[in-house]
Structure 1
Amino acid sequence: MTTVSCHLAAGLPPPIAGPAVSRPVDGFRLAYDRSGTGPGIVLLHGGHGDRTDWADVAVRLEGTVVTPDLRGVGESDRWPGGDVSVSAQAASVTSLIDELRLGPVVLGGHGIGAAVALRVAARSPGRVAGLVVTPPPEVPTRSVTGTGRNALQRVWTTWSAPGYTPSRLRLDHLAQQHDRRLLTMSSDPIGRHVVAAPTTILWPDLDPLVPDSWFDGLGEWFRRVTVRRVPGVGHFLPVEAPMAFVEALQRTVQERTQQRGF
């Protein structure tokens, strides 16, 4: 499925730029959309979606915006026996930043994409000028039992805010795009490292996967961190409330431009 038809099947408008594919890392190539000019912004989707989750965010940003499908998802290479762990995903994203000569970038991440963004920032600080992420989830295995389509419908309707319901077309699209291994992935993306880049954590207050205890000791993991609570929003923040991400990302880009002139 082409990038344009991929967006249309998801009930979304076609992307501004045409389809592109990265160089392979460990045999995986990443499909990505790229649009705009200026400071680099890379947006990483969650395990229950794909790069089209960022459609309403990407079109509103000022900069060179890149939205890849992670390994095993969507139009990226999808090898059943390949490594799709957080560290492996981070290797592909880091390579993509280098290949496109984007760095240092502002990284946006949601769900598993947030874990990948944190990993990149912790292990490759020179490539990251700022972060805007939601808290990485710890997804219970029982929540994704059943067929892929049923599991996706269940989580998209129960983890989102009341009143938000994805369309049937959207769910059909995601059921064809996902890799089940990413649905329950959990990881400590930072390990013993500290994230030096200024970080904004967007906290959707109706996200059932984020306990209050997650925020204990943030000062040990981040050198500079700001937490912004987003009221009335569930787990799927880029789709439910895209402007929260737009405003935080644009603010981070502007601050880094003023301070470092990148």
Structure 2
Amino acid sequence: MTTLSGHLLAGLPPPEPGRRVSRPVGGFRLAYDRSGDGPAVMLLHGGHGDRTDWADVAVQLDATVVVPDLRGAGESDRWPHGDISVSGQAASVVGLIDELRLGRVVLGGYGVGAAVARLVAARHPRHVAGLVMTPPPRVPARTVAGTAHDIVRRSWTSWSAPRFVPDRARLEHLALQHDRRLLEMSGDAVPPQGPEVVTVPTTVLWPQLDPLIPDAWFDRLAERFRRVRVRGLPGVGHFVPVEAPMAFVDALHAALSERKDRHES
């Protein structure tokens, strides 16, 4: 079944013409933006956002920057019974890296995107030169009750820093751009720890006002990341690329510099 006919049978509108989309992996195509040149960076958004979360980061990077919508978000394919788990998302990310022939990328991720990025780095280290991430969230079930508009508004206002005020039009956009299953993705779907060990250089950005980070995530961190450093972000909530984009920009540039140094040595 083609993606277009599948959309129509599922009662979904056909994909919009003219956008960049990947080849399907597991039945899902990813919409993505690509800009710049040089070594590659790929940025993965959280479960309550989409690829536009990275707008203020992408424009600051001196690199080839690829920013996809995850499965079920933004303009990517949405299958009511498709696999939007962390492992399924990781398969699509690896497929996109291969399709675009990006080589070894520096991966950046926050929220659910951090869990996806970590899994890609652990299982596919030949695809990843470095990892910059926030701790993956553990989302309380009580916060995902109500309509998509309720969930998005509540999350972006209560999980961000007190002085951060989301734009109403942006919240409306995000509420319309998501598979509800992503909004409801719980801590069971995004475990704070996993058996896979990340061997690539990793920077963990720790937003210290993010209420979704379990303290246990930092237990035995060095056992799960061979080369890891933690940078605290005082006064920053869950939505780091939007609240404090330069924190990601600086960390990604540092990862790119380390990649270059290793390549030249």
User: Normalised by the size of structure 1, how large is the TM-score?
Assistant: 0.91
- Please say if residues 118 and 190 of structure 1, whose CA atoms lie closer than 8 Å, have aligned partners that are also in contact: no
Match of 1:144 in 2: 144
State how 1:68-83 maps to structure 2 within 5 Å. 68-83=68-83
Match of 2:229 in 1: 226
- Superposition deviation, residue 30 in structure 1: 0.3
Number of corresponding residues: 245
Match of 2:99 in 1: 99
> Structure 2: which amino acid aligns with 1:163?
R
- Please say if residues 137 and 190 of structure 2, whose CA atoms lie closer than 8 Å, have aligned partners that are also in contact: no
- Superposition deviation, residue 191 in structure 1: 3.3
Change (3 A) 1:261 1:141: farther
- Superposition deviation, residue 163 in structure 1: 1.4
Matches of 1:176 and 1:51 in 2, distance apart?
A: 14
Superposed CA offset, 1:122-166 (max 9, x none): 111100000000000010111011010011101100000001111
Matches of 2:25 and 2:223 in 1, distance apart?
A: 32
Candidates 243, 248, 265, aligned match of 1:240: 243
Match of 2:216 in 1: 213
Superposed CA offset, 1:218-257 (max 9, x none): 0110000000000100000000000000000011001111
Match of 1:174 in 2: 174
Matches of 1:48 and 1:261 in 2, distance apart?
A: 39
Matches of 2:214 and 2:193 in 1, distance apart?
A: 19
1:125 is aligned to 2:125:
yes
Match of 1:254 in 2: 257
Match of 2:34 in 1: 34
Match of 1:21 in 2: 21
- 3-state DSSP of counterpart to 1:38: coil
- Superposition deviation, residue 19 in structure 1: 3.1
Match of 1:134 in 2: 134
> Structure 1: which amino acid aligns with 2:220?
G
Match of 2:6 in 1: none
Give the alignment's Cα RMSD to 1 decimal: 1.4
1:108 is aligned to 2:111:
no
Superposed CA offset, 1:42-76 (max 9, x none): 00000000000000000000110000000011100
- Please say if residues 140 and 184 of structure 1, whose CA atoms lie closer than 8 Å, have aligned partners that are also in contact: no
Match of 2:58 in 1: 58
Matches of 2:159 and 2:193 in 1, distance apart?
A: 25
User: Normalised by the size of structure 2, how large is the TM-score?
Assistant: 0.90
- Please say if residues 30 and 75 of structure 1, whose CA atoms lie closer than 8 Å, have aligned partners that are also in contact: yes
Matches of 1:102 and 1:195 in 2, distance apart?
A: 20
1:195 is aligned to 2:198:
yes
> Structure 2: which amino acid aligns with 1:207?
D
Runs of 4+ in 1 over 3 A off after TM superposition: 188-191
Percent identity between matched residues is: 69
Matches of 2:87 and 2:25 in 1, distance apart?
A: 12
Give unpaired runs (5+ residues) of structure 1.
Answer: 1-17
- Please say if residues 106 and 255 of structure 2, whose CA atoms lie closer than 8 Å, have aligned partners that are also in contact: yes
Give unpaired runs (5+ residues) of structure 2.
Answer: 1-17
- Superposition deviation, residue 261 in structure 1: 4.3
Matches of 1:29 and 1:241 in 2, distance apart?
A: 30
- Superposition deviation, residue 209 in structure 1: 0.5
Change (3 A) 1:41 1:189: farther
Match of 1:87 in 2: 87
Superposed CA offset, 1:93-130 (max 9, x none): 00000011112000000100000001101111100000
- 3-state DSSP of counterpart to 1:129: strand
> Structure 2: which amino acid aligns with 1:226?
R
